[in-house]
């Protein structure tokens, strides 16, 4: 599957790849892709089963695929965009078939070995036949991957496993054919080892495939909301039901009441409403009429609509969100870089230990060659770089999928880990801690002015303005049932200060104290009446006519309902808070005090926000910034973790490594809880994989015999131990998923 990631200025493409199992596989694919002209960077992820390619010019998809194939891996063809987990389900089904096939031919060998037939000639040849059948069927994929890796002078888990399987099988075959030269009594033991190796490794692959399928379920749940069929409106007026694959931008579709929208588009005819909770998180239906945008996957209300198609399949808002999550799952978290450094030396080190073990037991002891080979194969197959390689990505995949279910879009896997380690979270005020939609909280008119006439004049001036305070004034006056004053004239809006209406020789002004003073209007008469509102953080605007103040109006941007609770929750987590705002000191401090924020910086310009964040970072703090994703873009870029408040169909384009798609800033507390549980899951997974290898490899090398002479791990059961390491990471990830569901 190839998809273009929409968030970065650089062109990016995600190529799905089957067969990667560990850090060395990732390095192999990454190195091969980087050699292709035009590729700026490549980042492969075994856990996500994909490689993210940054390129310039046009994408050379065919060359990318050929390079991956040449390396011994399988680029996956185009998928049905309605199911992101279908590929993982098919992979799990294939692994289950291969596992069943392996078990089928392993059971006879076990029965012969432990049933007392191990010295019978017919039993030996039966075991040989069973082990031989598995070589070109179940084991061949490891051999191919190992050969491809060695061709590039690299080694990975496939190399270790292939050497172990081949060594056991070949030695057993030699002892069967040349009993006079080799120990014939060990033939059955190594046929058993060869078949068990294949069997247990296939079992591990099946567990891994099932884990990936489960991790993809959150994205699949989103994409499954999009219908696979659509009603196309033809030029002659007839309606034809077609596959979504036949729909293209510009086509007209008919959407009936209760149906889900199959595409992104714009309403061409009809009136209805849509439930867009899947993206906005708001359960209230959104009215839809001519020109309004509709989102694929959302549900049409009671009206019939005709829409013009704007985006289909991978070009819909919902698909872009899934693409971002996939990119996040493939990105490198800080803990993963440590695991990568260990993995880079892991395989060569294991080979050295295996060789050293063989040299010691073969050259300095009198044990049989079969015992020497048992130790060598045991070291090779018990070592598990896979568990180490998937320990971090598995937790990130679970965390990002769980976040998506809760309305939190994680666009960078590393940010999910960093969020758990923040020392300070900085909030913008407007639209973040506050609603961003100010309300007219109090009105004061001069003693000799009729209030309704003043409000009618206010409505006339506000109607020609797009400023948020003007919209708040319109909403308030309309609620009083007052019509706008009939004043003809030309209006001019001064940036951030207010509106002036000039009608013949008369001048009307609605704006800030600074605007009135600039126009020579004194506000002393009403200034005292507004002091109480100003002290509460209200913004004051004035209405004047021909140099005389008619009224003063207090506007307050109400705090978001869950903002105070969120700040308390953040403090309880041991994180300091700060608020940076461009508003005046009184307004900023009033909101900060109401919310309980630790530090306040008011009247801040964009460069002041950046400077403050840099200062805290210089003091050793890890800083997160929460903003609206547009006006705060420079400060968001400077922060260690950038968190944007999103919503609607454009959520995928929001600035920020984490986007709170629904629930507003209140979702931040949930995001922090998820990040901390993911970090805990990463630690558990890494510990399980590291401690397993630290204990298992020495035992397989024979150090256990120093404790007890009989403590020798058979080669076949060394493979089982390796599988248990993979299983421990898988179980750790399942436990993490269970913990996240409880949030």
What are the helix and strand counts (H, E) for the chain?
Answer: 25, 27
Active-site option among 158, 264, 412, 428: 428
Three-state SS sequence of 199-229: HHHHHHHHHHHHHHHHHCHHHHHHHCCCCCE
Establish whether 251 is a catalytic residue: no
Burial of 45 (0-12, 13-18, 19+ CB in 10 A): buried
For residues 713 and 196, give the distance between their C-alpha atoms in angstroms, rounded to a whole number. Answer: 13
Classify the C-alpha dihedral 6-8-10-12 as positive or negative: negative
Query: What residues contact residue 485 under an 8 Å CB cut-off, 6+ apart?
Result: 453, 456, 457, 459, 460
Cα angle 409, 414, 420 (rounded to 5 degrees) comes to 85
Q: Are 60 and 36 in contact (CB under 8 A)?
A: yes
Q: Are 554 and 587 in contact (CB under 8 A)?
A: no
The DSSP line for 588-646 is: HHHHHHHHT-SEEE-S--HHHHHHHHHHHHHTT--EEEEE-SSTTHHHHHHSSEEEEE-
Query: What residues contact residue 729 under an 8 Å CB cut-off, 6+ apart?
Result: 387, 390, 391, 394, 685, 688, 689
Which DSSP letter does residue 115 get?
A: T
Nearest to 551 by CA among 470, 453, 485: 453
Give the DSSP H or E segment for 410.
Answer: strand 408-410
Q: How far is CA 342 from the centre of its chain?
A: 25
Enzyme catalytic residues = 428
């Amino acid at each position: 599957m190839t998809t273009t990631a929409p968030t970065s200025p650089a062109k990016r493409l995600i190529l799905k790849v089957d067969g990667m199992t560990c850090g060395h596989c990732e390095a192999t694919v990454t190195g091969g892709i980087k050699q292709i002209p035009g590729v700026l960077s490549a980042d492969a992820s075994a856990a996500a089963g994909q490689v993210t390619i940054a390129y310039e010019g046009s994408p050379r998809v065919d060359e990318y695929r050929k390079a991956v194939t040449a390396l011994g891996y399988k680029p996956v063809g185009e998928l049905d965009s309605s199911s992101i987990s279908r590929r993982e389900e098919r992979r799990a089904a294939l692994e289950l078939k291969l596992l069943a096939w392996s078990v089928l031919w392993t059971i006879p060998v076990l029965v012969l070995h432990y049933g007392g037939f191990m010295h019978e000639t017919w039993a030996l040849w039966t075991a040989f036949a069973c082990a031989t059948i598995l070589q070109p069927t179940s084991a061949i994929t490891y051999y191919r991957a190992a050969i491809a890796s060695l061709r590039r002078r690299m080694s990975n888990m496939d190399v270790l496993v292939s050497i172990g399987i081949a060594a056991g099988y070949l030695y057993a075959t030699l002892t069967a054919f040349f009993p006079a030269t080799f120990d014939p009594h060990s033939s059955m033991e190594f046929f058993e080892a060869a078949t068990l190796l294949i069997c247990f490794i296939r079992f591990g692959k099946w567990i891994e495939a099932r884990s990936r399928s489960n991790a993809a379920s959150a994205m699949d749940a989103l994409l499954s909301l999009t219908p696979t069929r659509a009603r196309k409106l033809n030029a002659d007026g007839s309606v034809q039901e077609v596959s979504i694959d036949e729909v293209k931008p510009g086509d007209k579709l008919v959407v009936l009441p209760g149906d889900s929208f199959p595409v992104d588009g714009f309403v061409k005819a009809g009136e209805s409403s849509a439930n867009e909770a899947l993206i906005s998180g708001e359960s209230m239906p959104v009215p839809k009429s001519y020109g309004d945008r509709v989102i694929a996957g959302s549900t049409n209300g009671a009206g019939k609509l005709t829409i013009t198609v704007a985006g289909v399949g991978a070009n819909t808002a919902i698909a872009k969100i899934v693409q971002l999550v996939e990119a996040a799952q493939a990105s490198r978290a800080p803990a993963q870089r440590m695991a990568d450094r260990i993995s880079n030396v892991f395989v060569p080190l294991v080979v050295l230990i295996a060789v050293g073990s063989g040299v010691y037991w073969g050259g300095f002891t009198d044990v049989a060659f079969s015992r020497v080979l048992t130790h060598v194969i045991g070291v090779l197959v018990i070592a598990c770089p896979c568990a180490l390689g998937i320990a971090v990505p598995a937790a990130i995949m679970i965390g990002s999928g769980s976040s998506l279910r809760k309305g939190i879009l994680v666009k960078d896997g590393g940010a999910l880990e960093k969020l758990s380690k923040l020392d300070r979270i900085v909030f913008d005020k407007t639209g973040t801690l506050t609603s961003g939609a100010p309300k007219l909280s109090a009105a004061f008119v001069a003693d000799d002015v009729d209030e309704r006439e003043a409000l009618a004049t206010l409505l006339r001036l506000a109607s020609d303005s797009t400023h948020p305070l003007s919209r708040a004034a319109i909403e308030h006056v309309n609620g009083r049932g007052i019509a706008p004053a009939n004043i003809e004239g030309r209006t001019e809006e001064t940036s951030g200060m207010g509106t002036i209406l000039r009608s013949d020789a008369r001048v009307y002004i609605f704006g800030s104290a600074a605007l009135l003073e600039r126009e020579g209007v004194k506000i002393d008469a009403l200034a005292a009446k507004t002091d109480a509102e100003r002290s509460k953080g209200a913004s004051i605007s004035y209405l004047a006519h021909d140099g005389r103040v008619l009224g003063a109006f207090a506007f307050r941007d109400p705090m978001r309902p869950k903002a105070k609770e969120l700040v308390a929750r953040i403090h309880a987590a041991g994180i300091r808070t700060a608020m940076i705002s461009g508003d005046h000191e009184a307004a900023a401090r009033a909101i900060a005090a109401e919310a309980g924020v630790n530090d306040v910086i008011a009247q801040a310009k964009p460069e002041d926000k950046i400077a403050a964040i840099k200062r805290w970072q210089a003091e050793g703090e890890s800083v997160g910034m929460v903003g609206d994703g547009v006006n705060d873009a420079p400060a968001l870029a400077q922060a260690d973790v950038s968190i944007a408040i999103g919503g609607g169909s454009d959520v995928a384009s929001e600035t920020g490594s984490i986007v709170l798609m629904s629930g507003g800033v209140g979702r931040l507390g949930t995001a922090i809880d998820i990040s901390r549980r993911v970090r805990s899951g990463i630690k558990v997974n890494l510990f399980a994989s590291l401690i397993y290898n630290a204990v298992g490899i020495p035992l397989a090398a024979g150090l256990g015999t120093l404790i007890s002479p009989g403590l020798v791990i058979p080669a076949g059961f060394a493979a089982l131990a390796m599988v248990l390491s993979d299983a421990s990471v898988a179980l750790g990830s399942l436990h993490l998923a269970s913990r996240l569901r409880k949030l």
